[in-house]
Amino acid sequence: MSAKLEIANLNKRFGGLVAVNDVSFNLEPGEVVGLLGPNGSGKTTVMNMISGALACDGGIVRINGTDITKMKPHKVARHGVARTFQLVRPLPTLNVSENVMLALAFGKQRHWGRTAREMAEDKLAFVGLAGRGQEKVGDLTYIDQKRLEMARALASDPDLLLLDEWLAGLNPSELQIGIDLVRHLQDQGMTILLVEHIMEAVRALCSRCIVMSAGEIIAQGACSKVLQEASVIKAYLGD
């Protein structure tokens, strides 16, 4: 359930805009690392290049030593990479269980003879939706939609989880549930890259932070130290 992620000299341009400029970092197996920075700093673009949703203009992405740089998203998923999206996007015409089963079709396909429904139930139980598989997605509360989104990401049995503001929009008690769920994954050894604006969550979960500004890494290291650096505060607050 753990993966090593290596990113070296990643670049991406959109026309004349350099969205990601020579970004390099590694995640060791089982690390939970925050990828931070103000809006537009390139975090989602980096996530998109790791997951294969976006082609890089240069650089290398490796997972457990395998070069996945040029792979399409479904192939990247087979190498153990999964992500949640900033927007909660289950298919509304399917029920909760069916939404997870659909996600099971991707990923590493370690089914070991179990039915898709059994595996979906396992993932739903893990995220706190045990026995809720037959419910309509449209009837779920916001936190339960977030749980479903996590169950769908976990359906592919990932080794590296990319969380793109998965905790956004939760009220304080829901936020604690979300943090606890990520911590549960952390305890199981999942490698996690967390793009997150909620600093309480970053402090609670991440051993290390990487801060981007205008497409470049401007600081990285222990969160407690990095978040106090003048360059980081300036990037967030401006001059």
Residues within the interface to ligand ADP (CB under 6 A)? 14, 17, 19, 37, 39-45
Q: What is the closest distance, in whole angstroms, from the C-beta atom of residue 10 to ligand ADP in the complex?
A: 12
- Radius of gyration of the chain from Cα atoms? 18
Comparing CB distances to ligand ADP, the nearer of 45 and 186 is 45
Q: What is the closest distance, in whole angstroms, from the C-beta atom of residue 44 to ligand ADP in the complex?
A: 3
Read off the tokens for 84.
Answer: 């949640």
12 in the Ramachandran plot: left (φ > 0), alpha (ψ -120 to 50) or beta? Answer: beta
Comparing CB distances to ligand ADP, the nearer of 95 and 213 is 213
> CA-to-CA distance for 10 and 21, rounded, in angstroms?
7
Read off the tokens for 187.
Answer: 């305890």
Q: What is the closest distance, in whole angstroms, from the C-beta atom of residue 28 to ligand ADP in the complex?
A: 23
Comparing CB distances to ligand ADP, the nearer of 160 and 210 is 210
Q: What is the closest distance, in whole angstroms, from the C-beta atom of residue 38 to ligand ADP in the complex?
A: 7
Report whether 9 contacts 22 (CB < 8 A).
Answer: yes
Comparing CB distances to ligand ADP, the nearer of 43 and 147 is 43
Q: Which amino acid is at 192?
A: I
DSSP, collapsed to helix, strand or coil, labels residue 111 as coil
